[in-house]
Amino acid sequence: EAGVTQSPTHLIKTRGQQATLRCSPISGHTSVYWYQQALGLGLQFLLWYDEGEERNRGNFPPRFSGRQFPNYSSELNVNALELEDSALYLCASSLSGWTGDCTFGSGTRLTVV
Amino acid sequence: GESVGLHLPTLSVQEGDNSIINCAYSNSASDYFIWYKQESGKGPQFIIDIRSNMDKRQGQRVTVLLNKTVKHLSLQIAATQPGDSAVYFCAEKGGYNKLIFGAGTRLAVHP
């Protein structure tokens, strides 16, 4: 069974541009979570999608947004990129109504120059 | 605010020794905790979890201890192996399925 897949693996953007990151959850999982992991820091919760709806949002500015598609895959969009947005962006998935662990992908390394 | 922290940023152990990684959390109402292992270039991998109605839970070579009185978690790894070298995170389940992660502890296993 395929795990959580994220694309691209690496992404280099210029300050002010937009970045789009993609995530495919494990088959059967309807919840997708996005986390930001800045260098040397722990993971910071960004967004939670379930059944196509945004269910929770972390303490990030509105230029961080996303969506979940009918096939439960998800997109994270970051507009007006800033240098401090450089980080590893991790996607995780779980069954709906999660009460246990979620499975993480390997992440997209976003570098803003 | 909510936070989950770690006492030691780096832990060096000899192969075969036992390792103990500690973590403090701030929300006394939290009822679910997870330990993750993150190897270089990979996403966090679930190791073991524990609910607040338990004090101890054992897995294969790993044990998690929960002390609710002092809001403290620990991960014990028995007979540490080179493959255990990674960054370990504790996480606390916050509201609406949000995980609150600590900053992480790097475990370095030396032969």
CB contact under 8 A, B99 and A33: yes
CA dist A81 and B6 (Å) reads: 31
What average pLDDT does this structure show over A13-24?
Answer: 98
Q: Give residue-wise pLDDT tens across range A28-69.
A: 999 999 999 987 678 999 999 999 999 999 999 999 999 999
Instruction: Please state, for a pLDDT cut of 90, what percent of chain B lies above it.
Output: 73
Give the range among A90-99, B16-25, B52-61 with minimum mean pLDDT: A90-99
* Residue B97, helix vs strand vs coil: helix
Nearest CA in chain B to A9: B41
Reported confidence tier of residue B23, pLDDT bands at 50, 70, 90: very high
Bridge-based pairing state of the strands A31-37 and A43-50: antiparallel
**Residue A72, token pair as written in the block:** 């439960």
Q: What is the pLDDT of residue B95?
A: 78
Closest Cα of chain B to A16: distance in Å? 27
Nearest CA in chain B to A96: B97
Mutate to test the interface with B, among A101, A102, A103, A104 (most CBs of B within 10 A): A101
Nearest to B92 by CA among A42, A38, A7, A20: A42
CA dist B18 and B84 (Å) reads: 11
Reported confidence tier of residue B41, pLDDT bands at 50, 70, 90: confident
CA dist B23 and B67 (Å) reads: 10
Bridge partners of residue B72, in order along the sequence: B24, B67
Nearest to A26 by CA among A67, A88, A73, A77: A73
Reported confidence tier of residue B89, pLDDT bands at 50, 70, 90: very high
Please indicate if any CB of chain B lies within 8 Å of the CB of A63.
Answer: no
Instruction: Please state, for a pLDDT cut of 70, what percent of chain B lies above it.
Output: 93
Q: Give residue-wise pLDDT tens across range B93-109.
A: 887 788 999 888 999 99
* Residue B95, helix vs strand vs coil: helix
Nearest CA in chain A to B96: A56
